[in-house]
Amino acid sequence: MKMNIVCIPGDGIGPEIVAQARAVLDSVADIYGHEITYQDVLMGGASIDVHGIPLTDEAIADARAADAVLMGSIGGDTTKSPWYQLPPDKRPEAGLLKIRKALNLFANLRPAVLYEELADACPLCSEVRQGGFDMLIMRELTGGLYFGERKTYTENGMRHAVDTLTYSEEEIRRIAIKGFEIARKRRKKVTSVDKANVLDSSRLWRAVVNEVAGEYPDVTLSHMLVDNCAMQLVRDPAQFDVILTENMFGDILSDEASMVTGSIGMLASASLNDTKFGLYEPSHGSAPDIAGQDIANPIATILSASMMLRYSFDLDKEADAVDRAVKAVLQEGWRTADIMSEGCRRAGCSEMGRLIAEHIRQQ
């Protein structure tokens, strides 16, 4: 297969981790006889430094023309970096929001899995984590509060700020369908998370999700309020299969879920539209404090590349090979600094990438 991939290395550790994901994809291409072409595109701070804005129209056009986008991470230290002296719509994060909207990437899949090999890193007590957990947060990504009208103004000498949260039934329906479809391939359980005891947008959310559920009688649906969900994630994470939720709740809960696994450096994500196109990126940020030291964990990006093979190219066998290689390297005791534990072998970012790529060649 021919794959045209746009890479957005981005900022901080982004370039290092993307380089390792590419090394892994290259070994997949060699072994399974595929052809990959890469094109690098600037976004975030890297784009601000060159173009003065976090995402150019050319960059969007390049991404749109590709089969899929592999991203590292964007952004810098918000207290120190000059990028954060710019107006909000010129900062690195604005580039990410813009590309999501421009490419209609409304479905954000964030798996949060407790890896057996890394169970000790899980901050939950052993009774709670025993048996493990494996959930997927399906976050609506192009609507709600992050894309509503907002303004800051002064009235009678008093400053005010307003953000608006709007959802149409169509926006809710399409993400709900994605949630139920993926649940069908998993444990067939959807927990839809909202704040329907307060918000109108949540009451519409609940109503539309119930309608969609009618089409999926084989999938069990339950509803949960977001504050309760935040609590349940640390009380009993194994109860969740697919968590279906709107943009801001998904943003917050997915960070919580990743922390609960204890290994945020391991968690991948996919942002999809209604075609096979997707943008794949690790769930973690750009970690500017450790950038350029070859100590970052590239596994989340490598697993994001695996999601790309699976969702954009339907290459399940190849994706399985990547996932297996990651597990094998962990089983051999290799660890980057963030997941290091006693008795394990320390690997840097490039070493970890090399080991995983090597495993794919040996399988």
Q: Which residues are catalytic?
A: 146, 195, 227, 251, 255
Smallest gap from residue 251 Cβ to ligand IPM (A): 4
Q: Which residues are bridge partners to 70 per DSSP? A: 7, 280
Residue 93's binding partner, choosing from ligand IPM, Mg ion, none, with beta-carbon cut-off 5 to 8 A by kind?
ligand IPM
Smallest gap from residue 96 Cβ to ligand IPM (A): 5
Nearer to Mg ion, 140 or 251 (CB): 251
E strands, 121-232, in order: 134-140, 150-155, 158-163, 189-194, 220-225
Residue 299 CA to residue 355 CA, distance in Å, equals 11
In sequence order, which residues have a C-beta less than 8 Å from that of residue 49 and are 6 or more positions away? none
Residue 23 CA to residue 272 CA, distance in Å, equals 23
Nearer to ligand IPM, 246 or 251 (CB): 251
Q: Cβ atoms within 10 A of the Cβ of 10, count?
A: 28
Q: Which residues are bridge partners to 138 per DSSP? A: 109, 244
Smallest gap from residue 255 Cβ to ligand IPM (A): 7
Nearer to ligand IPM, 17 or 330 (CB): 17
Contact 24, 297 (CB under 8 A): no
- Measured from each CB, the residue nearest to ligand IPM is 93
Residues of span 115-144 touching Mg ion by CB under 5 A:
none
Residue 97's binding partner, choosing from Mg ion, ligand IPM, none, with beta-carbon cut-off 5 to 8 A by kind?
ligand IPM
Residue 128's binding partner, choosing from ligand IPM, Mg ion, none, with beta-carbon cut-off 5 to 8 A by kind?
none
Smallest gap from residue 159 Cβ to Mg ion (A): 26
How is residue 346 written in tokens? 């320390």
Smallest gap from residue 136 Cβ to ligand IPM (A): 15
Residues of span 224-263 touching Mg ion by CB under 5 A:
251
Smallest gap from residue 262 Cβ to ligand IPM (A): 19
Q: Which helix (H) or strand (E) holds 15?
A: helix 14-32
Residue 194's binding partner, choosing from Mg ion, ligand IPM, none, with beta-carbon cut-off 5 to 8 A by kind?
none
Nearer to ligand IPM, 28 or 46 (CB): 46
How is residue 152 written in tokens? 């800051």
- Angle of helix 349-362 relative to helix 14-32, nearest 10 degrees? 10
Nearer to ligand IPM, 97 or 225 (CB): 97
DSSP letters for 84-141: GGS-GGGSHHHHHHHHHHHTT--EEEEEEE--GGGGGG--S-HHHHTT--EEEEEEE-
Binding site for ligand IPM (CB under 6 A): 93, 96-97, 251
Residue 25 CA to residue 319 CA, distance in Å, equals 10
Q: Which burial class, exposed, middle or buried, applies to 254 when counting CB atoms under 10 A from its CB (0-12, 13-18, 19+)?
A: buried
Nearer to ligand IPM, 108 or 263 (CB): 108
Residue 96's binding partner, choosing from ligand IPM, Mg ion, none, with beta-carbon cut-off 5 to 8 A by kind?
ligand IPM
Length of the chain: 363
Residues near Mg ion, by CB under 5 A: 251
